């Protein structure tokens, strides 16, 4: 029986991927390197260290990851100011979970800085969630299950009693490895690429009723 819902953030509650991608491309450009937006696709959902580091490895770029992340976030926060809003159905789905007395947690591979910037700009307070786990809280990032195991633990629910809401291949793998059921949103990847999930929807406004009734 479902008792908890664990939300990824990027691509689930908000479409921040185009913004962080532009910020990352700009950061590399400032370093004198031209990279392509498509270069970042394999690293979506794996946390900023891998997101930036993976592209740096592809081009043989030596990267001070802490400095690179700091500058990327600075550019990112400038870009999103006044330009970010929740994805369709996000706020309504959270309310629906609350109406069913389900525990809810945010589980994002993004660092705390990006998590807080996103929530602030899409007007969803952190206090809405019973718990939150960000990329700095766990050592092994998605596709390892650690982030969802920790989120489930924090809300006092067994992973197999949780629904994981994800949009990325790495995230679905992490959710299933944790033992949870998964709703895949096809906002970033195709249904075929996310085939390991239990349910599919374009966004949370079209999520099937059964995802919260099992």
Its sign, for the CA torsion 202, 207, 211, 212, is: positive
Its sign, for the CA torsion 74, 79, 85, 87, is: negative
State the residue for tokens 């690293």.
43
Q: What's this model's pTM, rounded to 2 decimal places?
A: 0.86
Q: Which of 205, 81, 196, 114 is nearest to 106 (CA)?
A: 114
Q: Which of 10, 15, 130, 167 is catalytic?
A: 10
Strand-strand pairing, 131-133 and 199-201: unpaired
Helix count (H) and strand count (E) of the chain? 7, 6
CA-CA distance, 61 to 53, in Å (whole number)? Answer: 9
CA-CA distance, 76 to 86, in Å (whole number)? Answer: 17
Q: Give 141's DSSP letter.
A: P
Per-residue pLDDT of the chain (214 residues; tens, 9 = 90+): 999 999 999 999 998 889 999 999 999 999 999 999 999 998 887 778 999 999 999 999 999 999 999 999 999 999 999 999 999 999 999 999 999 999 999 999 888 989 999 999 998 999 999 999 999 999 999 999 999 999 999 999 999 999 999 999 999 999 999 999 999 999 889 999 999 999 999 999 999 999 999 9
Q: Is 167 an annotated catalytic residue?
A: no
Q: Is 10 an annotated catalytic residue?
A: yes
Which pLDDT value is given to residue 48? 85
Structural domains in the chain, sorted by start: 4-15+85-212 (3.40.50.1000), 17-80 (1.10.150)
């Amino acid at each position: 029986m479902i008792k908890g819902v664990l939300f990824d953030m990027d691509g689930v509650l908000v479409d921040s991927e185009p913004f962080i991608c532009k910020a990352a491309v700009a950061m590399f450009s400032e370093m004198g390197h031209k990279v392509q937006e498509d270069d970042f696709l394999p690293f979506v959902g794996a946390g900023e260290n891998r997101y930036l580091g993976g592209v740096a490895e592809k081009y043989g770029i030596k990267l001070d990851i802490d400095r690179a992340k700091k500058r990327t976030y600075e550019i990112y926060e400038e870009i999103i100011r006044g330009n970010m809003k929740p994805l369709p159905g996000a706020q309504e789905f959270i309310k629906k979970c609350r109406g069913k007395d389900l525990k809810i947690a945010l589980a994002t591979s993004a660092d705390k800085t990006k998590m807080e910037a996103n929530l602030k700009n899409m007007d969803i307070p952190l206090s809405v969630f019973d718990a939150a786990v960000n990329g700095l809280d766990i050592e092994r990032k998605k596709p390892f299950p650690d982030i969802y195991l920790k989120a489930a633990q924090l809300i006092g629910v067994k992973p197999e009693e949780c629904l994981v809401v994800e949009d990325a291949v790495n995230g679905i793998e992490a959710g299933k490895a944790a033992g949870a059921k998964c709703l895949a949103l096809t906002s970033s990847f195709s249904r075929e690429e996310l085939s390991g999930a239990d349910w599919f929807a374009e966004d949370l406004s079209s999520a099937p009723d059964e995802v919260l009734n099992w």
